[in-house]
Structure 1
Amino acid sequence: MNFWHAAALAVLIVGPGLPALAQDNPLEPSESWEALRVDVTGEAEIGDGSALFDIVAPYRAEDAATVPIQIVQTNMDETITAATVVIDENPAPVAAEFDFSPAMLPLDFEMRVRVNQYSNVRVIAETPEGLKMAGRFVKASGGCSAPASRDPEIALASMGQMKLRLFGEPPAMSQARREAQIMIRHPNYSGLQRDQITQLFIAAHFLDHIEVWQGDEKLWAMDGGISISENPVFRFDYADNGATALTVKATDTEGNSFEQVLPKAAEG
Structure 2
Amino acid sequence: MKALILALGLSLSVTGMAHAAGASDTDQERVARWNDLKKEIFAGKTIEPSETMVRIDAPKRAEDAALVPITLAMSDKDKVKGVSLIIDDNPTPYAAHFIFGPAADPGEIKLRVRVNNYTDVHAVTETKDGRFFESKQFVKASGGCSAPMGMSDEEAMKGMGDMRLKFGEATPGKPAEATLMIRHPNFSGMQMNQVSRDYTPARFIQKLDVSYGDTLIFHMDGDISIASNPVINFGFKPEGKGPIKVVASDNQDGRWEKTFEVPSASN
Mapping for residues 161-172 of structure 1, pairs under 5 Å: 161-168=162-169, 170-172=170-172
The answer on whether the counterparts of 2:104 and 2:216 sit within 8 Å (CA) in structure 1 is no
Distance in 2, matches of 1:115 and 1:66, equals 8
Identity of aligned residues (%): 36
2:34 match: secondary structure: helix
Deviation per CA, 1:16-40: give whole Å up to 9, x if none. Answer: xxxxxxxxxxxx5513212222111
Structure-2 residue corresponding to 1:188: 186
Distance in 1, matches of 2:244 and 2:171, equals 15
Structure 1 ranges of 4+ moved more than 4 A: none
The answer on whether the counterparts of 2:116 and 2:145 sit within 8 Å (CA) in structure 1 is yes
Distance in 2, matches of 1:86 and 1:155, equals 26
CA RMSD of aligned residues (A): 1.9
Structure-2 residue corresponding to 1:46: 47
The 3 A distance-change label for structure 1 pair 149 and 222 is: farther
The answer on whether the counterparts of 2:68 and 2:113 sit within 8 Å (CA) in structure 1 is yes
The 3 A distance-change label for structure 1 pair 106 and 258 is: closer
Query: TM-score, normalized by length of structure 1?
Result: 0.83
Structure-1 residue corresponding to 2:236: 238
- Tell me by how many angstroms 1:98 deviates: 1.1
Structure-1 residue corresponding to 2:131: 130
Unpaired runs of at least 5, structure 2: 1-26
The one-letter amino acid of 2:69's match is P
Structure-2 residue corresponding to 1:71: 72
The 3 A distance-change label for structure 1 pair 106 and 212 is: closer
Structure-2 residue corresponding to 1:85: 85
1:155 match: secondary structure: helix
1:71 match: secondary structure: strand
- Tell me by how many angstroms 1:67 deviates: 0.7
Distance in 2, matches of 1:63 and 1:242, equals 40
- Tell me by how many angstroms 1:82 deviates: 1.1
Structure-1 residue corresponding to 2:16: none
Mapping for residues 73-222 of structure 1, pairs under 5 Å: 73-75=74-76, 79-127=79-127, 128-168=129-169, 170-173=170-173, 176-222=174-220
The answer on whether the counterparts of 1:164 and 1:266 sit within 8 Å (CA) in structure 2 is no
Distance in 2, matches of 1:161 and 1:58, equals 29
- Tell me by how many angstroms 1:123 deviates: 0.8
Distance in 1, matches of 2:139 and 2:49, equals 19
